[in-house]
Homo-oligomer: A and B are copies of this chain.
Amino acid sequence: MSKKIVEQEKRAFMTGNEVVAWAALAAKADIMYGYPITPQNEIMHYWTRMAPKYEKSFLQTEDELSAGFTTIGGVMAGRKAFTATAGPGNTLMQEPMSMAEMMRLPTVVVVQQRGGPSTATVIYSQQEVTMTSIGGNGEGMRIVYSTSSHQELYDYTIKAFNTAWKYRFPTFVLGDGYQAKMRESLTLYDPEARGIELIPPEAYVGKEGVPGKDRPPAHFRNTYNMEEELYELVMDALQDYEKISPDVAEYHSAGIEDAELVIVGHGIVYRAIKAAVEAMREKGLRVGYFRPVTLRPLPVPQIKELMASNKQILLMESSYGQLARLFKDVAYGSSTKINTFFKPGMGITAEEVEAAAREILK
C-alpha cells in the first residue's frame, strides 16, 4: 500500500474519467464498487486496470442500488470506498444515499451527469443537480462539488474523500458527460507531497476487541420507533450540517466589484461564462461572474452579498432552473432580478453567454 501513485507532479492529457481514477488512487481510496453507465464507464475501466497494481479492490455489482449499498458497506468497514454513476443510475443511487445521509456515512460518489429525464441521452447535462443535492426522502444533508475542468476533477475528487471522512456527510463530485469524455491537460500530483493531509478512515463495524467483552458492541440503525426520536436526530444532524457549511462552501468570482452584470453558473457552464466574461471585459463591458463550487452547501454569505449589491444577474445552466432554485433559496430577500438562461441537456457556449449578456446590457 505504500507504493506511491504519483511519484512526482506531472502534466497529463487524458479524459475526465481517467482523471477520476487517478485522483481516487492519489486520495488513497481502497475500493470501488460500481455498475456500468455511460458516461462514467471509463472510471471503472481505468480503476480495474490500475487497481491490482496498487492492491486496491473493485467489485462490479448487479445494479446501482447494490453499488451504493456495497459502498456503504465498504465505508462502514472502515475503508475509503467510492462509486460512480450517472442519470438513471444516480436516480437509483438516491436510495442508498438516503441511508448514508441518515447514518452520516462518508460515502463518495462521482456523478457524470447525462441528459434527462429518464434514459434520455448518454451525453451531457446539468440536470442531476436537484437529485444529487437534495434527492431522496431526506433533507439534503450532503456535500456536492461541481467541477469545471480536469484539474478540478482531480483536486476535488481527492478533496471529496477528506471532506466525507472529516464531516461524515455523503459527498459527491458532480461532473458531466463532457468532462467525463473530453481530454484536456492537467497536473497530477501526490496530495501529501503538497502538504494536503489525507484523513484516515475509521471503522464503524469490525472494530478491535470482542464486543460485549472488551467494549460495547457498535450498533447502527436508520429506523426509529417514534417521531420524537427521529426529530431530535435529524435536527442534530441538520445543526451539524449548518455549522460546518461555512467551512465547506467554496466559490469563485471575478470582476464583481465594478460589474453591471454578474453571470452565475456552475460546473462546465462556468467555463463558457468565464471565457465570455474575459472576452467581454476585453471589449470594455463591465461584466463579472460568480460560480459556486459547492452546490450543497452553497456559499451563503457571498451569495447574499452579491445579491445585495444591486447588479444585474444572469444565471445560466444546462438544466431548467435546478441551480436557480437552490440559488433563490439562498438569495431570497434580494429584489435584484435574476435573468435566466436554461438549456436542459445541452451545452452552453461562450458565444451564447456573450449573446445573452449583451441582450441584458443593451
Query: Interface on A for B, CB 8 Å cutoff?
Result: 87-88, 90-92, 94-95, 98-99, 101-103, 115-121, 123-124, 127-128, 130-131, 134-141, 222-231, 234-235, 238, 319-322, 324-326, 328-329, 331-335, 337-338, 343-347
A327–chain B nearest beta-carbon distance, Å: 9
Tell me, in angstroms, the Cα distance from A136 to B117 when the chains sit together: 7
A360–chain B nearest beta-carbon distance, Å: 16
B328 touches A121 (CB 8 A): no
B137 touches A131 (CB 8 A): yes
Tell me, in angstroms, the Cα distance from A135 to B88 when the chains sit together: 11
- Please give me the residue from chain B that is nearest to A113 by CB atom: B137
**How many chain copies?**
2
- Please give me the residue from chain B that is nearest to A326 by CB atom: B325
- Please give me the residue from chain B that is nearest to A101 by CB atom: B117
Chain B residues in 8 Å Cβ range of A102: 116-120
B320 touches A139 (CB 8 A): yes
B329 touches A331 (CB 8 A): no
Tell me, in angstroms, the Cα distance from A124 to B141 when the chains sit together: 20
Tell me, in angstroms, the Cα distance from A128 to B134 when the chains sit together: 11
- Please give me the residue from chain B that is nearest to A325 by CB atom: B329
A71–chain B nearest beta-carbon distance, Å: 15
Chain B residues in 8 Å Cβ range of A238: 320, 344
A92, A227, A328, A335 — most chain B CB neighbours (10 Å): A227
Chain B residues in 8 Å Cβ range of A90: 137
Tell me, in angstroms, the Cα distance from A197 to B333 when the chains sit together: 44
Ordered by A's residue number, 28 sampled pairs between the chains whose C-beta atoms are within 8 Å are A91-B136, A92-B92, A94-B135, A98-B117, A101-B117, A102-B117, A102-B119, A116-B137, A117-B136, A117-B137, A118-B136, A118-B138, A120-B222, A120-B224, A121-B223, A123-B227, A127-B139, A131-B135, A131-B137, A135-B135, A139-B321, A139-B322, A228-B346, A231-B346, A234-B345, A321-B329, A324-B329, A335-B335
